[in-house]
Amino acid sequence: MNKKGIIIGLILAVALSGGILFKSGYLVRSGGEHEEKKEIGHKGEKEGEHKGEKGVSHDVEKEKKEGHDEHGEVASLKMTVEIQKQNGVVVTQAKKQQLAGTINATGKVEVNADRIAHVSPRIPGKIIAVKASLGDSVSAGQALATLDSVELGEALNRFHQSKTKLALAQTNMDRIKGLVEKKIAARKDIHQAETDYKTAQTELHTDEERLLLYGVATSDLQGEGQKKPLLPVRSPIGGIITEKHAIVGELSDSSKSLYTVADLSNVWVMVDINEKDLAKVRKGQTATVMVGAFPDLKLKGRITYIADLVNESTRTVKARVEVSNPGRKLKPEMFASAELTLAADAQPVLTVPEDALQELDGKKVLFVAENETEFAARQVQMGRTAGGLVEIISGLKEGDRYVVKGAFILKSEIKKGEVKDEHGHGK
């Protein structure tokens, strides 16, 4: 019994110790795996952190490249030399030059009084035809209306009489010359015949001049036959009809203007010069004229007149700028502004043409060439503007190469890149 009990006790002891060892081994293996997993997880976190730091760093470098402000650069791009030539991109070197001063004045467009005509008949008559209307373009000598005139009829009758009298005087002179040669007539008779012929010539010439004064040329009378004589009213100059008063059936005379014709290819801009600036203004001075209707239109002109009286209420003096008007865009009575160019300053300053400047992200920039194919949009600070040139105070140095023509093309390319980025194709 004791022996049997001992055996059973040994078996239980072995079983109990085996269970303890199994549990201990399990715990050791489980802990190792846990530690390994923990280590792997920690390593993954470290790698993730490292990758994350690398990504942020890359973004910062890219942002610095795009927003680098050491030279005020806003953006940059590359363009091959061939593409530059195709798009008319021209690069030049920044240099200093004397910048002319300016005076700004406001005024109004007027018709050039030296290029306007009021058209009326030389003699009274009844209007039977109107051949031109308001706004028509007419040439010098063109008939605008036709009149039936009694006075013209009388002048034509005198002309025909003088013409017939001259023909008779010619025939009589030739006849007497023949008789003198045959010694049938005395030589004094030929002198009288020649005198009568010259008198008839003078009378015919006077009648022709009268018809020309009325507006009828002798060439207009060729082959007229029995037609009723009519009086054409012609324009003395070429231009545009700005007023029309001719109406069929009305009587007209030299005191009534039937048409007003104005040559609008050249106009006047009457501007007001402040009294304090009067000493800087002179005849012959150049001026740039602008109107609100065409903000991009800048027309060159010259001052041709400065008034001698000062306006008491405004303390200004009238000055007249004469300017060419291509396309007749400047209309009489339009409000206009003029930029009067003064003598250049003695001290040269760094300047660029206005067209070279572009606006990018609300900033005024110049495209500076970093090399033959790379351009940086560099923010600049501007000073005075005169004669199409702008003073650059900062952002550009003398000797820098910048885009003087085609800057808008480069700006467009940058904007295209921004649009792609917004749609997820760039950044």
Q: Residue 337 pLDDT more than 90?
A: yes
Domain boundaries, the chain: 1-67, 71-99+348-422, 101-112+264-344, 114-146+235-262, 150-229
The pLDDT tens digits of the residues spanning 164-184 come to 999 999 998 888 888 877 777
Residue 37, SS3? helix
| Identity of the amino acid at 404 | V
| CATH entry, 101-112+264-344, from 2.40.30.170, 3.90.1150.10, 3.40.190.10, 3.30.2390.10 | 2.40.30.170
CATH topology classification for 71-99+348-422: 2.40.420
* Alpha-carbon distance values, 314 to 273, 310, 333, 411 (Å): 10, 8, 20, 45
* Higher pLDDT pick, 254 / 335: 335
**What's the topology of domain 150-229?**
Helix Hairpins (1.10.287)
Check whether 427 has a pLDDT greater than 80: no
Condensed to tens digits (0 to 9), the pLDDT of residues 401-410 reads: 999 999 999 9
H or E segment and range at residue 127: strand 125-130
pLDDT score at 146: 93
Residue 48 — very low, low, confident or very high, per pLDDT cuts 50/70/90?
very low
User: Cβ of 411: how many Cβ atoms within 10 Å?
Assistant: 19
- Nearest CA-CA partner of 285 in 101, 27, 99, 11: 101
Where does the pLDDT of residue 304 fall: very low under 50, low under 70, confident under 90, or very high at 90 and above? very high
Distance, CA of 238 to CA of 146 (rounded, Å):
18
Closest CA to 97 of 401, 364, 384, 414: 384
- pLDDT (tens digit per residue) in 88-109: 999 999 999 887 778 889 999 9
Domain 114-146+235-262 fold is: OB fold (Dihydrolipoamide Acetyltransferase, E2P) (2.40.50)
CA R_g for the chain: 49
- Specify the 3-state DSSP secondary structure of 261: strand
* pLDDT beyond 90 at 34: no
* Residue 249 to residues 134, 145, 164, Cα–Cα distance (Å): 18, 12, 35
